[in-house]
Structure 1
């Protein structure tokens, strides 16, 4: 069953209303009581200010404190009035206390109402309580509750609260200007309101609103009234930036004081005051009249920071300027006035301009103004000077600006120079050269293996003026996982230090990985023993230089011995011995370094098998060199211990010991040099002689292949009854080649005889085979047969050209079959015998390896064909990629001797076939280009017969 509303609800509502009335009166009472104390604090602050002359901050704090106190009291009162409600029991007792007729009815009614609403009592108990509440409520006059809740003392509090404000108002009204000034000191703490004092000060001169010219002086006069102080001071505060300054004023005896202010450069606000500022005058302002004039000017040119170039300052006469794009240009114009915001205008087009503020620097001087701009476009500059008051200068000078541009960086892959083949397991050197006109920011090297790129190698530069950089990187192919048939892709990028960076990228450099054997095959085709010998000759040459250096030390010690014999107290003996000892120690270190190089000399898989024997001998000699250097070091130190230490003159025993040690070292080194010459240099010389002869057989085979090609091509025209103009042109081109081949056959015959004569002592069998081939070529008349075939081709006789060319081919095949193979077997037997019996060396597969060479030399000297001379770890042939490996082919004395041997009458043997390195067998027809490059030799030959050939061509191509 739903509970019905109790009859006491109206009584409770009226009690609540009475509670709200009581809260509002309580808040009013709080406000009225607090205002009395707040109002009393105001005169107390004023009195304290009169006594102590508070500063602006203290007065501001006092004013804010009073305002905060009032706001706080009002806020608390508002919270009490709006939200604070006393308990009903308290209100009931308050009303009963104010109306005796109520007795304790309200309290009893609240108790009965609580029992009627209690859930713990029985229903009967609550019903009886409710009836009692209703009966009690009917006997209470609830309308009087709000009236009873009002504070009966409210009007007394109001009267008490008005007393202090009324007194303050009366004092203000009748206190005059002093009272009003005191109010202003608190209401406007930072205003110009001097404190109350017995000394009243006033600035009489300059008058208010006075303006003076910039830089002019002024005399300030102040007058004191009331108590006349003994001293007076003047404080001037410049407008804007600048520290205030104080000067003592000069008394004049009539209550006035003066103070001169010299060269005023800023508007000032001046105040006269006593020491401690217990008395002061009102402030007086001195304004300035400004009319700026343009004085000397300077320009600072600061290239962009990325260039690393220092800024430079120059006098500026408003003439033309030239600067790099991005250069910061600062113009500094001086004036006789402190300057304000002017401008520099850059006109880059008739309808396009930009303004740059012309302002004085914060740190001064204020008489000069600066304008900064960044050079981005050329144009005309105009200068507008304005002073701090906004007055413009009477003139506006102009000048021109020309802007130059920063070029992109340049970068190239220096090593390798072009696409190449590289030997597996090699540490491939990469060299990247980058340059920029103003500075590099970074250089990046990208390396890819079979199209997969890792993180680039980056070189970044902290300094902005790095204009050149070489990035060197050794690629460990084995560590990178590059194997035979892998492809290495390399390219590099350079970024300059320009704010909007410019990047330049190299082309892609590709390198195919080949095996060690493929690399050796390449070298064998392009090189020969004379070229391979260069690295050994260089090593032995350095050993010979060490012998000569040891001999010089020995001679220097002998000279010291002679001086010591003449004058034991010679002062030069000690320094000479010290120098000789130092030189000997340095030489021993050099010998140890050379021994280290000899111990690791050569590759594990050299070009020729016989090199392994040479390398083993060098390894053995390296041990002897180390032992010799160590023995000399011990003997030299022992010799020095035989006499007194420096700085005393060395004794005869010391010099003799040092000289003997040097002589013994020199003899050991000479022995090692002789052993190296006999064991290394002499075999190389003999093998180089033999190799020249072996290459002659190779050259004959190459010429045979060329003749076969000419014979096959000439057959195409044999059965033609009438040749077209194009046919005659083709025959003419073949005739020139046939004539050139005849010349090369003639030269080869002479070279065979020459090489046979040079090799007959060491390799008689090989020399005999070469001589037989040369005699057979002469007996067959091969050069003449080639000339006859060439003549038929040049004259367009197709029916005779092919038979002649075919006949020459058959003779060459016959001679090679008769003299080539048996001859080569004799060459191999002679080489094996010479190496095994005479040198004690194992030739291994050296013969086959040497037979691969295509580095032909003509009798007149100089390399010909596909060979290469002077290579350093790389082969280079026009139109082909380099091959990079671990071999150094030096153009040493033996190679130069071979190239210069002969009658000096030949002009080279150009036109030899170039061997490709991308296949195992270079002799296959599809690996030889049908197009031959004309060389100086063939060109001179064609030019010699050009008139005759032209006459034949005109006769054959002219219609009858």
Structure 2
């Protein structure tokens, strides 16, 4: 049996413990040394990332590599520290090297211990070795072996190992966001941590948390700092795996770049970066709002087929709609989202609503829905939009629908404007205007004479959308067999295109037929010579325009002559001559047209007999105008025939001949204008002056008749002892009229003096008669007597009012004691003498005709009397009845001059800018007309004509 080895001595045990300490320190040394290289690898990786901008994978690999290295080092250190034990001999030598006082005791002790344990030695040897071990152990203090086994360089290794981590910590601490971002790039490789770069990019808009509507566009704004790049790109990555896309951003200066993102349909993550993504911004998320929005809307309105109107499509802003009954209405609403099933509701009553489906068209866009309805009832429309996912729009717009009805047509007799008298043998134009809101089917004109109607004049329309139509029809009175005292009745009918037709009929327009002489009698009361002269003045004014046009042509040719003298080859000469020739030719045509008008000027039976002489003068002037135009045409034609070829400038001879012809034409026209002025205008001016005098006498006669009426009416109150309130009111009313009459007498006296002074040179006898009448008014003190009588009336002194009024009437009546009217014989003699001896004109019945005028203009005192239709007139003017016969009464310089001088108001013509009593116009607005369209009363036209005849025609017609 073998002997067991002796137990280990305490020294051996302490050596073992010292070996364990040495292993732990060796592991710590490994960690400290490795930590230096691992810590160095971190900044190296960061610097490399800054330089090369590693991808996420590379950074992840780098981070994992550092972590793995650290783990491996720590694992190796743990194995060394806890499992690896150095040999005791190595520990002994380590301890002996660190403590020289031990010498070689520990090595020897271990040798002896080995011998004592060796199985080859003898028992004595093992025993002696064991004793030697124990003896040596007693001589060695082994308690300090674990401390002595500690690495004396451990703090140095620790200091070296901590340098780089501390530096990294300081750099991180004081390096700001950039340093922290670089740590984050490795600690969170897949996070949103842009690499460090000299170009720093930041997305300013949209801000974080921004949401946009589905399908909306967005402007991305990026701002750069540091090194400003020349170009910048925006990369958008759709959520859900869509294909990312990149667009170039647009520079806006100062480091600002913008890029629009159109029609966003998915949440996006956008990044701004340089080419190659060496510099980029943080990613910015853009979310979507999926609630559908109501976008552009259009409405298609298709009126019923019978209207003939095409369907029209218009933008719809959810405002009021108006449509004809039966119109098909189609709404098309757009949205930012693909749409599902919505509806349009029509509320026609509080408890009555109709829904119409609002659906996308199968072949149309998914973001557009349509709904159709037929307009049958008015109501309120509401629009409910739903997208394909079932999301309802937040807004529900509304609008009103107003259904209109097809109105009956409108039709009127435009010309003549109202009931009228028309001269026999006229060709009377009738104008019928019909309108309808959706279309006319037919218009019929009915014409009857003395109650007998023939076939109507019918206008029918094939087109369904004829909304306006004018029927112009001429009535040939002679061909119809109409004569004086006949009555013509006209009315018209219009039918529209509605399936259930509607008809409208005008009232009857009645026209009584009168003779030419009756028409002239009517005009003589309404007009005067100054107004009749207007048409002659207009004709002469147009002749003067032709003179001025000829002067301009002459001036143009003289300028061409001067230009030709400076530069015979001037290319503008040919163009200028051609233009002047064309102007001259046009003027010659205008002269011939004017001559034609002069030849046929006026009516065969004019208002005044002296007009026949004036018309003869105009016919002579017309012949001279024709001859002048013909002569000029021949002379200019010869000048052009002798000229150069058309491609060359005109010669001096050609221009001289043209200029000479133009000058001679101008001289002839000026002579003809002067001759026309002497033969036509001057007689008219003289007669107009004389006519003012004659109207003064007429006005005095009217005032005398009015004074007689006042005297007669005031007598009713003369014998009353006490006046009732109504009596006093009547007296005050008469007093106002009496005072007005006194003012008119005063104005008339002054006007007589003015008119006498104006006519003194041409008509001395007439002027003397007018002055005598003015003197008689003043000498008798008639205005004063009128004022005294007016004062008595106003103050209710009936016993004094009548005598004074009667006295004034007697004074006025004295002047008519002989020959009916004072001074008129001298006026007639002066007129006849002036026309026969000085003008060589036959006056005929002109004096009697002129004496019929009741056209009294306001006088210098602002009188308000209106002749036959004025205050206290004995008759009444035809207020709403025209007399149509072809005569034009126009304001001209002569009439305006007479109106400026004025006398005392007129028979419906005073104050009017212009009046026309002529053939019925064709319905076109006439700037020379002061007539208004009114509908005559239903009273018999013949009875109205009888009243007019009593007042104006002196019973030219007889009662039926």
Normalised to the residue count of structure 1, the TM-score between the two structures is 0.58
Structure 2 residue aligned with 1:922: 951
Deviations along 1:584-603, whole A, 9 cap, x unmatched?
01001111111111111000
* In 2: Cα distance, 1:555 partner to 1:913 partner: 44
Preserved CA contact (<8 Å) 2:526 2:907: no
The verdict on how the C-alpha distance between 1:412 and 1:732 changes in structure 2, with shifts beyond 3 A counting, is: same
Structure 2 residue aligned with 1:302: 301
* In 2: Cα distance, 1:648 partner to 1:913 partner: 62
* In 1: Cα distance, 2:469 partner to 2:328 partner: 27
Structure 2 residue aligned with 1:579: 579
Deviations along 1:273-298, whole A, 9 cap, x unmatched?
xxxxxxxxxxxxxxxxxxxx999997
The verdict on how the C-alpha distance between 1:463 and 1:647 changes in structure 2, with shifts beyond 3 A counting, is: farther
Question: How much does 1:865 deviate?
Answer: 5.0
Moved more, 693-702 or 293-302: 293-302
Structure 2 residue aligned with 1:564: 564
Question: How much does 1:623 deviate?
Answer: 1.6
Structure 2 residue aligned with 1:31: none
Preserved CA contact (<8 Å) 1:332 1:369: yes
Structure 1 residue aligned with 2:217: none
Normalised to the residue count of structure 2, the TM-score between the two structures is 0.58
Larger Rg: 2
* In 1: Cα distance, 2:593 partner to 2:328 partner: 55
The verdict on how the C-alpha distance between 1:462 and 1:650 changes in structure 2, with shifts beyond 3 A counting, is: farther
* In 2: Cα distance, 1:385 partner to 1:731 partner: 82
Structure 1 residue aligned with 2:124: none
Structure 2 residue aligned with 1:828: 828
* In 1: Cα distance, 2:472 partner to 2:897 partner: 36
The verdict on how the C-alpha distance between 1:361 and 1:864 changes in structure 2, with shifts beyond 3 A counting, is: same
* In 1: Cα distance, 2:405 partner to 2:749 partner: 64
Preserved CA contact (<8 Å) 1:440 1:461: yes
Structure 2 residue aligned with 1:403: 402
Matched, 1:543 2:572: no
Preserved CA contact (<8 Å) 1:777 1:815: no
Secondary structure at the counterpart of residue 922 of structure 1: helix
* In 2: Cα distance, 1:911 partner to 1:400 partner: 55
* In 2: Cα distance, 1:851 partner to 1:407 partner: 58
The verdict on how the C-alpha distance between 1:924 and 1:531 changes in structure 2, with shifts beyond 3 A counting, is: closer
CA RMSD between the two structures:
4.3
* In 1: Cα distance, 2:907 partner to 2:846 partner: 27
Question: How much does 1:493 deviate?
Answer: 4.3
Preserved CA contact (<8 Å) 2:856 2:910: no
Question: How much does 1:811 deviate?
Answer: 1.4
Structure 2 residue aligned with 1:530: 530
* In 1: Cα distance, 2:781 partner to 2:744 partner: 13
The verdict on how the C-alpha distance between 1:366 and 1:878 changes in structure 2, with shifts beyond 3 A counting, is: same
Alignment of 1:5-24 (within 5 A): none
* In 1: Cα distance, 2:768 partner to 2:511 partner: 45
* In 2: Cα distance, 1:539 partner to 1:811 partner: 47
Secondary structure at the counterpart of residue 489 of structure 2: strand
Structure 1 residue aligned with 2:693: 693
The verdict on how the C-alpha distance between 1:375 and 1:515 changes in structure 2, with shifts beyond 3 A counting, is: same
* In 1: Cα distance, 2:689 partner to 2:296 partner: 82
Deviations along 1:332-384, whole A, 9 cap, x unmatched?
6999xxx9999987553366566879999999999999764321212366999
Question: How much does 1:885 deviate?
Answer: 1.7
Alignment of 1:310-321 (within 5 A): 310-312=311-313
Deviations along 1:586-621, whole A, 9 cap, x unmatched?
001111111111111000110000001101111121
Structure 1 residue aligned with 2:324: 325
Structure 1 residue aligned with 2:797: 797
Structure 1 residue aligned with 2:375: 375
Structure 2 residue aligned with 1:449: 449
* In 2: Cα distance, 1:532 partner to 1:868 partner: 19
* In 2: Cα distance, 1:300 partner to 1:911 partner: 56
Preserved CA contact (<8 Å) 1:861 1:901: no
Preserved CA contact (<8 Å) 1:421 1:884: yes
Matched, 1:677 2:677: yes
The verdict on how the C-alpha distance between 1:693 and 1:820 changes in structure 2, with shifts beyond 3 A counting, is: farther
Give the unaligned 5+ runs of structure 1: 1-292, 387-391, 870-875, 928-960
Secondary structure at the counterpart of residue 422 of structure 1: strand
Deviations along 1:476-510, whole A, 9 cap, x unmatched?
32233332222233334455555555555444333
Question: How much does 1:770 deviate?
Answer: 1.3
Aligned pairs, number? 621
Give the unaligned 5+ runs of structure 2: 1-291, 870-875, 912-943
Structure 2 residue aligned with 1:900: 900
* In 2: Cα distance, 1:541 partner to 1:794 partner: 53
The verdict on how the C-alpha distance between 1:888 and 1:751 changes in structure 2, with shifts beyond 3 A counting, is: same
Question: How much does 1:754 deviate?
Answer: 1.4
Question: How much does 1:797 deviate?
Answer: 2.2
Structure 2 residue aligned with 1:71: none
Alignment of 1:180-195 (within 5 A): none
Secondary structure at the counterpart of residue 855 of structure 1: coil
Deviations along 1:414-473, whole A, 9 cap, x unmatched?
433332222222222334444555555554444333333344444555555555554443
Secondary structure at the counterpart of residue 648 of structure 2: coil
* In 2: Cα distance, 1:592 partner to 1:751 partner: 44
* In 1: Cα distance, 2:505 partner to 2:600 partner: 39
Alignment of 1:877-892 (within 5 A): 879-892=879-892
The verdict on how the C-alpha distance between 1:320 and 1:592 changes in structure 2, with shifts beyond 3 A counting, is: closer
* In 1: Cα distance, 2:953 partner to 2:798 partner: 27
Alignment of 1:101-140 (within 5 A): none
Deviations along 1:94-131, whole A, 9 cap, x unmatched?
xxxxxxxxxxxxxxxxxxxxxxxxxxxxxxxxxxxxxx
Matched, 1:770 2:770: yes
Moved more, 910-919 or 664-673: 910-919
Alignment of 1:496-535 (within 5 A): 496=496, 498-535=498-535
* In 1: Cα distance, 2:334 partner to 2:907 partner: 79
Alignment of 1:257-296 (within 5 A): none
* In 2: Cα distance, 1:580 partner to 1:913 partner: 46
Preserved CA contact (<8 Å) 1:865 1:912: no
Deviations along 1:694-728, whole A, 9 cap, x unmatched?
11111111111111111111122222222222122
* In 1: Cα distance, 2:452 partner to 2:533 partner: 40
* In 2: Cα distance, 1:817 partner to 1:809 partner: 13
Preserved CA contact (<8 Å) 2:769 2:826: yes
* In 1: Cα distance, 2:382 partner to 2:311 partner: 26
The verdict on how the C-alpha distance between 1:348 and 1:566 changes in structure 2, with shifts beyond 3 A counting, is: same
Question: How much does 1:857 deviate?
Answer: 2.8
* In 2: Cα distance, 1:461 partner to 1:631 partner: 52
Structure 1 residue aligned with 2:934: none
Question: How much does 1:828 deviate?
Answer: 1.2
The verdict on how the C-alpha distance between 1:604 and 1:485 changes in structure 2, with shifts beyond 3 A counting, is: same
Preserved CA contact (<8 Å) 1:861 1:900: no
Preserved CA contact (<8 Å) 2:302 2:311: yes
Preserved CA contact (<8 Å) 1:522 1:917: no
